[in-house]
Amino acid sequence: MLKRYSIKNFNFILVLFAVALSIYGVVIIGSAKASVQNKQIAGLVLGVVAMLVISLIDYSFVLKFYWILYFINIFLLLAVLFFGDDSKGAQRWINIFGVRFQPSELAKIILILFYAQYIMKHREKLNSFRVIIKSVLLMVPPLILVLKQPDLSTTILIFVIFCVLLFIGGISNKIIFGVLAVVVPITVILLVTVIQPDQKLIKDYQQTRILAWLQPDKYSNTEGYQQQNSIIAIGSGQLTGKGYKNNEVGSVKNGNFISEPQTDFIFAIVGEELGFAGCMAVIFLEACIVVQIIMTGRRARDPAGMMICAGVAANVGFQSFMNIAVTTGLMPNTGIPLPFVSFGSTSLVSLFIGLGLVLNVGLQPLDPRDLR
């Protein structure tokens, strides 16, 4: 389980970027909602400790229990369905021994581990109909359970991570293009269908979010209120922002025009108070983390290590894109946090757990002699 590692293989740069971005997030949360700042600091400390501990545990040992991890994940998601805490119309949290956390965040990491091992074991037959169907069927239960919370954005993100893992695992380009040829037109048909009156495919509030994105002026005082104010906040910051914790009367944050600004719309607070420069700092750090993870994956000693890195990179990269796209009006409001920045201890700790796995992959690089 524990091995002797060389310190030269430890990716201190990745740790530096992640901790720097998390501290940045703590600072912004202090302006968005000071009362929860200490909780985020506690989550950061716990996350860093978890990352360092997990970075020393051989990922190959962890992957031996991939089926156990899969069923633990299903159990936790079922627990949310039957015993979860309800908050603002969503049932996404469970409370165990006084600890309240969101299993769907941990589900992303568990599924990355599961499929990294599953795909590696079936890599020679990955393009067979049987393996592909089995892979998809195993993904269906967690997707349905997360969707029922309801949490459409996390469901989409988990599915994207799954697709990335299949691609990195070596699925045939013929299958990829064949699936795209079917999925793309179906997606277009679904999008047209869900905006029709009396549709039954998605919930009413989800339909309204899509309509508010397509017709922002019509819904500017209702469902599109938050997103439009987010765009105004980011634009009003201009190059360097209005200043950290400013007292300007015209501030979107100070006027409480964005509810819960410390979570899904934290990027709007960055834009308003720190301007374009502050926003670019966030994007730069997120991008650096993703690049460092990908570079680690390229040096992985086996396909499982490579897929772990690919999954974690997809999680950070696509989640960052989705959050920033929502706050800038490029996507409908999905309600997904900005990695390492938004308030949320479960999200932060889960992200650091993922980095711990990546660090362990980096501590066991491919021996150049294996390429001969």
Per-residue pLDDT for 257 more than 90? no
Q: Count other Cβ atoms within 10 Å, centred on residue 185.
A: 10
Predicted confidence band of residue 367 (pLDDT cuts 50, 70, 90): low
Predicted confidence band of residue 311 (pLDDT cuts 50, 70, 90): very high
Report the run of H or E that residue 304 belongs to, with start and end.
helix 303-327
Supply the pLDDT for residue 82. 85
Per-residue pLDDT for 250 more than 80? no
Predicted confidence band of residue 372 (pLDDT cuts 50, 70, 90): very low
Per-residue pLDDT for 333 more than 90? no
Supply the pLDDT for residue 317. 96
Q: Are 103 and 90 in contact (CB under 8 A)?
A: no
The region of weakest confidence among 77-91, 137-151, 275-289 is 77-91
Burial class (CB in 10 A: 0-12, 13-18, 19+), 301: middle
Average pLDDT, integer, range 263-286:
94
Q: Which residue type does 171 have?
A: I
Q: Could you tell me which of 332, 337, 319 has the C-alpha nearest to residue 264?
A: 337
- Of residues 26 and 332, more confidently modeled: 26
Average pLDDT, integer, range 283-298:
96
Average pLDDT, integer, range 323-327:
92
Whole-structure pTM value: 0.91
CA distances from 78 to 10, 147, 260 (A): 37, 12, 27
Q: Are 304 and 116 in contact (CB under 8 A)?
A: yes
DSSP conformational letter for 93: E
Q: Count other Cβ atoms within 10 Å, centred on residue 314.
A: 24
